């Protein structure tokens, strides 16, 4: 039984007809860039995310960079973010010219440590970027108080949390702006790269739209330098079709996560993922940890791969130990929780069409390899 980490084909099967019709219409119209499909998706995703504006961009990394630039983050500024995230969060900060200031995560939910953020706010802090990691929102209410008091922007990294909520409010609507990714494997994934900035602020939305369109609001007038970062009409066709199914697919992910948790509960040496009180989790990833550390994790990973199961590690190297951020001058030992998590974690297959039998099989392999 081969089980991928993510099965994109079964999602496509549900929307194939709609996508083919949408593509045919688009090809006939020729509006490949900034077509009506993009505005339709932006409006639908803004409504879904409970914000007034959604601006489609080329990918999630650009979305972060443009959102930060739109709130005037740049050279000389500092931006606080967690050390346990995908490199893009820190990369986007560095690309604005600002310095990433990393903090550790809490050991239970693996979300940004609010007290650590409080201790790192200083005169140069311009923004805080919590990451809604693995499908659940960071404790933004604690951060919002800090951000307000220090007059800094709260920009959510919403790449992994499409459809999640915190105390009933949609992830992506919890800060001044949010940046998201539609990378194919995300809960709402395109057929290529894509991303968006979400915000209630008309000013920020307009800034992101202009910056992503060569610094222009009037054709061939470029008062400032910008980028070419726009969501393709083709991706918008796919995203609209998938958005209509996202709530159902997120429920299926939840059911799969529940089945994993009930089967794995009580297995010696395995720590299960936990949902922070106040959160609705959308299970972008199901991440377990091994008391036996890297050795045990790697043995289980190898056994899963031998059995044809596509498990992964998200992410094996925290940001401060990446060569690209050697200039930050940080070392092993600086963020012990993030390091310990990176050394012992494993992501099991999780996608909406994962069957009960497939989950049983994955758990059997994990159980026999970790014993
Ligand atoms: C937490 C996080 N932030 C940012 C990104 C960057 O998104 P993209 O790959 O679309 O540039 C990703 C996904 O890849 C991510 O998982």
And the tokens for 363?
Answer: 């758990």
Pocket test for ligand 1, best of 63, 64, 88 (most atoms within 8 A of CB): 88
**What pLDDT is stored for residue 124 in this prediction?**
98
As a whole-number percent, the residues of the chain with pLDDT over 70 amount to: 100
User: What string of H, E and C letters represents the secondary structure of the chain?
Assistant: CCECCCCHHHHHHHHHHHHHHHHHHHHHHCCCECCHHHHHHHHHHHHHCCCCEEEEECCHHHHHHHHHHHCCCCCCCEEEEECCCCHHHHHHHHHCCCEEEEECECCCCCCECHHHHHHHCCCCEEEECCECHHHCCCCHHHHHHHHHHHCCEEEEECCCCCCCEECCEECCCCCCEEEEECCCCCCCCCCCCCEEEEECCHHHHHHHHHHCECCCCECCECCCCCCECCCEHHHHHHHHHHHHHHHHHHHHHHHHHHHHHHHHCCCCCEECCCCCCCEECCCCCEEEEECCHHHHHHHHHHHHHHCCECCECCCCCCHHHCHHHHHHCCCCCCCHHHHHHHHHEEEECCCCCCCHHHHHHHHHHHHHHHC
The response to whether residue 65 sits with its C-beta less than 6 Å from ligand 1 reads: no
The response to whether residue 193 sits with its C-beta less than 6 Å from ligand 1 reads: yes
Q: What atom of ligand 1 comes closest to residue 62's alpha carbon?
A: 11
**Residue 335 and residue 316: Cα distance in Å, rounded?**
14
Cα-to-centroid distance, 86 and ligand 1 (Å): 7
**What pLDDT is stored for residue 371 in this prediction?**
84
Place of tokens 């630039």: 69
**What pLDDT is stored for residue 274 in this prediction?**
98
Cα-to-centroid distance, 364 and ligand 1 (Å): 31
CB 111 within 8 A of CB 140: no
Helical pair 293-306 and 356-370, crossing angle rounded to 10 deg: 130
And the tokens for 287?
Answer: 């991440």
- pLDDT beneath 50, residues of the chain: none
Q: How many whole angstroms from its chain centre is CA 368?
A: 32
Q: What region does 177 belong to: left with phi over 0, alpha with psi -120 to 50, or beta?
A: beta
Q: What atom of ligand 1 comes closest to residue 59's alpha carbon?
A: 10
Pocket test for ligand 1, best of 5, 56, 57, 61 (most atoms within 8 A of CB): 61
Q: Count CB atoms within 10 A of the CB of residue 134.
A: 23
**What pLDDT is stored for residue 1 in this prediction?**
84
**Residue 11 and residue 64: Cα distance in Å, rounded?**
27
Q: What region does 138 belong to: left with phi over 0, alpha with psi -120 to 50, or beta?
A: beta
**Residue 335 and residue 2: Cα distance in Å, rounded?**
36
**Residue 208 and residue 229: Cα distance in Å, rounded?**
10
Answering whether pTM is above 0.85, one says yes
**What pLDDT is stored for residue 254 in this prediction?**
98
């Amino acid at each position: 039984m081969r089980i991928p980490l993510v099965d994109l084909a079964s999602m496509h099967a549900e929307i194939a007809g709609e996508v083919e019709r949408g593509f045919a219409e688009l090809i006939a119209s020729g509006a490949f860039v900034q077509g009506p499909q993009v505005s339709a998706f932006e409006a639908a995703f803004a409504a879904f995310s409970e914000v007034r504006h959604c601006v489609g961009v080329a990918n999630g990394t650009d979305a972060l960079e443009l959102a930060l630039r739109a709130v005037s983050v740049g050279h000389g500024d500092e931006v606080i973010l967690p050390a346990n995230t995908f490199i893009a969060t820190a990369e986007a900060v560095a690309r604005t010219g600002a310095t990433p200031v990393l903090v550790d995560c809490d050991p239970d939910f693996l979300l940004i440590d609010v007290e650590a953020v409080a201790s790192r706010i200083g005169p140069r802090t311009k923004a805080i970027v919590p990451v809604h990691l693995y499908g659940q929102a960071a404790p933004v209410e604690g951060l919002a108080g800090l951000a307000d008091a220090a007059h800094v922007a709260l920009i959510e990294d919403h790449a992994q949390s499409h459809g999640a909520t915190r105390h009933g409010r949609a992830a992506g609507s919890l800060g001044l702006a949010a940046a998201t990714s539609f990378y194919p494997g995300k809960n709402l994934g395109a057929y290529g790269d894509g991303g968006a900035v979400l915000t209630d602020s008309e000013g920020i939305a307009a800034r992101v739209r202009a910056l992503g369109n060569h610094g222009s609001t009037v054709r061939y007038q470029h008062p400032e330098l910008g980028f070419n970062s726009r969501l393709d009409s083709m991706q918008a066709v796919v995203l609209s079709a998938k958005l209509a199914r996202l709530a159902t697919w997120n429920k299926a992910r939840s059911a799969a996560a529940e089945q994993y948790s009930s089967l794995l509960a009580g297995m010696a040496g395995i720590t299960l993922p936990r949902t922070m009180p106040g959160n609705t989790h959308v299970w972008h990833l199901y991440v377990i940890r091994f008391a036996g550390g890297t050795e045990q994790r790697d043995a289980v990973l190898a056994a899963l791969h031998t059995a044809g199961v596509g498990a992964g590690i998200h992410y094996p190297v925290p940001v401060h130990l990446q060569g690209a951020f050697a200039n930050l001058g940080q070392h092993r030992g600086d963020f012990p929780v993030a390091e310990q998590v990176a050394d012992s974690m494993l992501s099991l297959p999780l996608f909406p069409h994962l069957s009960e039998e497939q989950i049983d099989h994955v758990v059997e392999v994990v159980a026999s390899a970790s014993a």
